[in-house]
Amino acid sequence: MKDQFIEMMNFRHACKVFDENRKISDDDFNYILESARLSPSSFGFEPWHFLVVQDPALREKLKEFTWGAQGTLPTASHFIVTLVRTAKTMRFDSDYIENMMADVHHIPEEGRIQRKEFYRGFQENDFKLLDSDKTLLDWAAKQTYIALANMMSAAAFIKIDSCPIEGFKAEQVNQLLATDFNIDTSLYQVAYMVAFGYRKDPQNEKTRQKLEDIVSWY
């Protein structure tokens, strides 16, 4: 068991080009998506949405602003653009938060009032998230990366390769989301992208610092 996990961690690498002839099965891709769905988030508010971009024309448009996926956008079996919910929906007093508590968490009204007040204190005082919309967006975006890690690990566990992607011009990608993906960018913005498929080339040797250089014990 322990060996299997480390083996999976070593198998995962940032795969730069995929074998175009190999497609991930629906069952396997749903397995990867399920690992995103089951990912933890602060207060359980799931500040994400996942766009699976399979249309070659849309991928081509993304490629124009995505320097970090020149080899993966055209060759990936599956390509995800992960969206993060904006301040408008992640604020303690938004309809989205109210609906999450009522419809998903099944919290009765009285409990919701208390929880909302607690969440307000957390956002306003503990983490000072209400200082600007960008602060709240960045906090929400951090959580979407937990889903990223889980998706890449789930994929590697079943021998599927991946590449996380932050190499893009966010402003232009957001504009494209509005014009070509019908996304309301006042509610969602791009967080990151991630490509999945099967490697074309052997992976490079892992380069990492030594454990003692990155861990301090007190």
Contact residues for ligand FMN (CB under 6 A)?
Answer: 13-14, 16, 68, 163-167, 192, 206
Minimum CB–partner distance for residue 125 and ligand FMN (Å): 29
Minimum CB–partner distance for residue 193 and ligand FMN (Å): 8
164 vs 197 by CB, closer to ligand FMN: 164
- Kind and range of the H or E element at 193? strand 188-197
Q: H-type helices in the chain, by residue range?
A: 2-11, 26-37, 56-63, 87-90, 95-99, 109-121, 133-157, 170-180, 211-214
Minimum CB–partner distance for residue 163 and ligand FMN (Å): 5
102 vs 146 by CB, closer to ligand FMN: 146
72 vs 94 by CB, closer to ligand FMN: 72
Cα dist from 160 to 10, 24, 29, 69, 206, whole Å: 12, 8, 9, 17, 18
17 vs 177 by CB, closer to ligand FMN: 17
Q: Beta-carbon neighbour count of residue 152 at 10 Å?
A: 24
User: Residues with Cβ < 8 Å from 94, sequence gap 6 or more?
Assistant: 88
User: Residues with Cβ < 8 Å from 132, sequence gap 6 or more?
Assistant: none
14 vs 146 by CB, closer to ligand FMN: 14
In the chain, the largest separation of any two C-alpha atoms, in whole Å, equals 57
16 vs 199 by CB, closer to ligand FMN: 16
Of all residues in the shown chain, the one whose CB is closest to ligand FMN is 68
Minimum CB–partner distance for residue 205 and ligand FMN (Å): 10
> Structure tokens of 49?
């949405």
Contact 195, 18 (CB under 8 A): yes
Minimum CB–partner distance for residue 77 and ligand FMN (Å): 16
Minimum CB–partner distance for residue 208 and ligand FMN (Å): 8
